[in-house]
Structures are given as C-alpha cells and as structure tokens.
Amino acid sequence: MFKSRFVVPLVLSLLLVACGSLIPSGQQNAEISQWKGGAYTLDPDHASLIFSINHLGFSSYIGRFNRLDSSLDFDPENPEKARLSARVMIDSLDVNNSAFAEDLKGPSWFNAKEFPSAYFESTEIKLTGDKQASMIGNLTLKGVTKPVTFDVSFNGGADNFLTGKYTLGFEARGIIKRSEFGVTFLVPAISDEVELKISTEFLKVSS
C-alpha cells in the first residue's frame, strides 16, 4: 500500500514530463512566419463548435455541434491570404437533452431535415495583432447566406506527437443574429443574438 501511493504518482509524473519533451519548448508558440504552409484538414477529434444564447433573461443556454468538417490553405508568409471552408452537420446538435435536441432540429428551429448542413467560406482575413485576426466570410444556414465576422486567435503550430502530423491550432469567436437566417422562433424571449465559440486543430496534408 505504501509503495503504490508513491510509485503511481511518480510514474504519471514521468510520463507527463516525457510527453512534454516531445514538443520542443516554445515551438508551438513560434512566430507565424515559422509555421508550415500548405493544405490542412480538420482534426475532428480536437474540434468543437459551441453556441451560447440568452434564455428568457435567466441564464445562458449552451449547446454544441459534434460533427464538423473543414479545410484550410495556409501561407505563413501571407497569413491574411489563408482560406478556410467549413461544414457543420446540423443533426449532430447536442444540448445534453435528447428530446429537446430533436425539437431544435425540427422545422421551428434548424429544420435539419431540409437543411442538413451549415456552411462557412472565408472571404477576407485582416490581421489585428501578432497572432490575432478578423476573419470575414459567408455563412449559409437554413438556406440563407449572410456575411459574418469572427475574431481569430492563432494558438501555434508544431509537430503533434499524438498524431505524428504537423498541427496548427486556432480559436475563434463571433456573434450572429439567428433571425437573419430564418430562425425566428421565440425571438426576443430567447435572444436573437447567438455567441459562437470555435476551437480547432488542423493537420497538415502530406504533399
């Protein structure tokens, strides 16, 4: 008993140290110009799209979409020329309540049967800091296409010891008005504005 209390934490600590050494210190936080350019594809196991909406003034209601697909063309010398396309499968909506999720997928809300996917295509990127940018693009949701803007943070790029592939990490935040996309049910009791938070990792495609 005495040995196990100390040996197990020691082994776990050594494993964590070893894993940390597999990514050179500071590499993932290097300047954007040092990252690898080319074509990237989304790592679906390390991607999330979370939405937050004010519920009757009482709370922020949180949900997410579990299935995403995206591709990225990235030029570290000209990051403002990066181009991103993404698809969100509406049927993957998850609010930790299966019955309510089915309501949200229905015709009063997302109408997933008629519009199974949402799409985003970037059209312009404006650098706002060393590792920050404003990404403008067209979002198509429920058959309606509107321009939207996301504030993007470049988290870094490095060889990923878990996948064996070079990886870029990003986070993005934005606000849309759901009524502009035809999702008008219960506005304004349930807020029109929806906050989106996206966290992604992209894996470099072998050339």
- pLDDT per position as a tens digit, 24-83: 444 566 688 889 999 999 999 999 999 999 999 999 999 999 999 999 999 999 999 999
- Number of CB atoms found within 10 A of residue 86's CB: 21
Residue 152 in domain: yes
User: 191-204 pLDDT, tens per residue?
Assistant: 999 999 999 999 99
CATH number at residue 152: 2.40.128.110
Task: Please give the structure tokens belonging to residue 184.
Answer: 């008008």
pLDDT at 120 over 60: yes
Residue-number span of the structural domain to which 194 is assigned: 35-204
As separate numbers, helices (DSSP H) first and strands (DSSP E) second, the chain gives 2, 10
Which pTM was predicted? 0.84
User: 141-174 pLDDT, tens per residue?
Assistant: 999 999 999 999 999 999 988 888 999 999 999 9
Q: How far is CA 90 from CA 1, 112, 170, in A?
A: 51, 6, 22
Q: What is the pLDDT at residue 12?
A: 42
Residue 158 in domain: yes
The total number of structural domains that make up the chain:
1
Residue 133 in domain: yes
Q: How far apart are CA 93 and CA 65, in angstroms?
A: 4
Residue 194 in domain: yes
Residue 17 in domain: no
